[in-house]
Structure 1
């Protein structure tokens, strides 16, 4: 079996009778090299199967032209949509993207942070796990002046870093207020673990809307767990195990909202006549099911664009190490669909 030998610019120079420095400048489109020479060099590079060593180049100029991204699960609509936008926008700046998923494991997140640091990424964007409360494993990026941006699931203000997040309090309030406006008085809230900022704020919005409308907060009507289909089904069984059934459900992700709808359909509970449902994230599936599901749109395109803009600002800054708490809020809107249809209450 033949041993594969990697070709270098020295081999190209030998084939063409040129200096190594001329070949290097030609491959990098240096203005002092003629178009004819550039074409000769690039043609020979293709013939020999030459591959530029981006890692070596990065070591020379201290730039890898690569950004790291850590998300909880790439299979979820919202982080997947954001990842696509980030990659597309970074390409406009000449950067590549390494996408990693923590699977909501703190141990995996810590390992990924170390891996991306070792890979010499020029910046890091992170949506933390559900259970990340100590963010000290990210300190290495701050200490080495490497741009660091958190989005969606973010650290507390005490951890001085750039934060970009949705208006989750408003989202929780709008979702609950909408159900109340549609006549609901007994509203279930299905939330993720309160170790995560998202669910704390959406719960606070839910409570605020109840209070403003003089409706009681009922602990037995609030559920906390990872928002998987399996967990949502088990919660649905508890919710509808005995009457009176709730007349509204505010689920803090769309997987849960879709699961509640499926449970109702299989058990003869009419949506929206008997129970109205609101989800969160505006997953495309909410628009194509029957009945379609009202949801909170988080605008992943805007989020992705702002993340890239923040990273580029930090990369270009003369003193990126001046870490301080800085927060941007991405607006949200409620998208009303069939799952909350009805005349609603009369406005006073």
Structure 2
């Protein structure tokens, strides 16, 4: 089998009897090259199967025009929506996006950070794993003045980077307050691991609401685990196997809330009459189940837009980025639906 010969701009120049510099300028839409010549060059490039070598160009100008993105799982509604917004907005600036998922593995996150650094990305946006507490594998980006932004799941201690996150404390407070206002006096909280900032802050909001309304905090009514369907079902079995059953549940993601609703339906527990449920993220599925589930909207589109704006500010700055801790908060909103006996209301 013969090895395929990669065509270059030299081949295009020879075919058209043009200089290599003219071909290069035509391919890059240089204003000094006529439209007729540009058209001839681009047609020949297509005919020969020419592929521009973006990596070589990047080495010459020290810019890859590529941004790296690390998210926990692309299958989840929130990071999937953010990834789409980031890609679309970056294209407006002429940048491409490399999307990587860590699968909530710290080992994979470290490997991905190294891979993206080697790929010479011009900037990196990261939503960390549930278990990332040491962020030193990202130090190389700071040392080399490569713009670095953390979002959603972010360092819990100052790491001297740009941080963009939701108002998770307020989200936890509003979700719990809403259940209390609906008459709940025994509210279960289902949380993710407290190594992650999201769940620390949502738990703090839950506790604050209980304290405000003079309801006791009960440790046995709080559960911690990865918020998968399987774990949610196992927790539901624990919760409802003992009497009395809780009259309210605040689940810190919608997969858990939907699973709880399914468990209640299969076991003859009426929602919201016997137990009210609130989720988190406003996943589109929460609107189409019956009853529709109250949830906290995190505005992923706003998050994606702010991530791109922060990266572009850092990339376009005249001086290398000054690495210091700065935090930007994306607002949240409680969307009340039938699972908590609320009419369709929004509460900020």
The TM-score by the shorter chain falls in which range? Answer: over 0.9
- State the SS of the aligned residue for 2:265: helix
Q: Distance in 2 between matches of 1:39 and 1:75?
A: 42
Q: Name the SS for the 1:281 alignment partner.
A: coil
C-alpha deviations, 1:56-112, integer Å up to 9, x for none?
Answer: 111111110000000000011100010010001001111100000000000000000
Counterpart in the other structure of 2:302? 302
> What SS is found at the alignment partner of 2:60?
helix
The answer to whether the 8 Å contact 2:336/2:342 transfers is no
Q: Distance in 2 between matches of 1:200 and 1:127?
A: 16
How far apart, CA to CA, are the structure 1 residues paired with 2:131 and 2:189? 20
Q: 1:331 & 1:153 partners in 2: Cα distance?
A: 15
Task: State the distance in 1 between where 2:320 and 2:198 align.
Answer: 27
Structure 2 unpaired stretches of 5+: 344-348
Counterpart mapping for 1:195-344 below 5 A: 195-341=195-341
Report the Cα offset of residue 3 of structure 1. 2.4
Change (3 A) 1:330 1:342: closer
Is the alpha carbon distance of 1:135 and 1:173 closer, same or farther for their aligned partners in structure 2, counting shifts above 3 Å? same
Q: Corresponding residue for 2:107?
A: 107
RMSD of Structure 2 on Structure 1 (CA): 0.9
Secondary structure of residue in 2 paired with 1:173 = helix
C-alpha separation in 1, matches of 2:256 and 2:314: 37
Aligned residues: 343
Question: For residues 28 and 124 of structure 1, what CA distance do their matches in structure 2 show?
Answer: 26
DSSP 3-state at the match of 2:171: helix
1:135-158 CA distance string (max 9 Å, x none): 010000000000000000001342
Instruction: Judge conservation of contact 2:8–2:50 (CA < 8 Å) in 1.
Output: yes
Task: Return the TM-score normalized by structure 2.
Answer: 0.97
Whole-Å separation in 1 of the counterparts to 2:277 and 2:319:
48
Q: Match of 2:173?
A: 173
Determine if the alignment matches structure 1 residue 23 to structure 2 residue 37.
no
Q: How far apart are residue 2 of structure 1 and its match?
A: 3.2
Contact 1:143 1:321 in 2 (8 A): no
Structure 1, residues 220-269: CA drift from partner, whole Å, max 9, x if none? 00000000000001100010011100000000000000011011000000
Output the CA distance in 1 between the equivalents of 2:245 and 2:41.
Answer: 75
The CA deviation at 1:31 is: 1.4
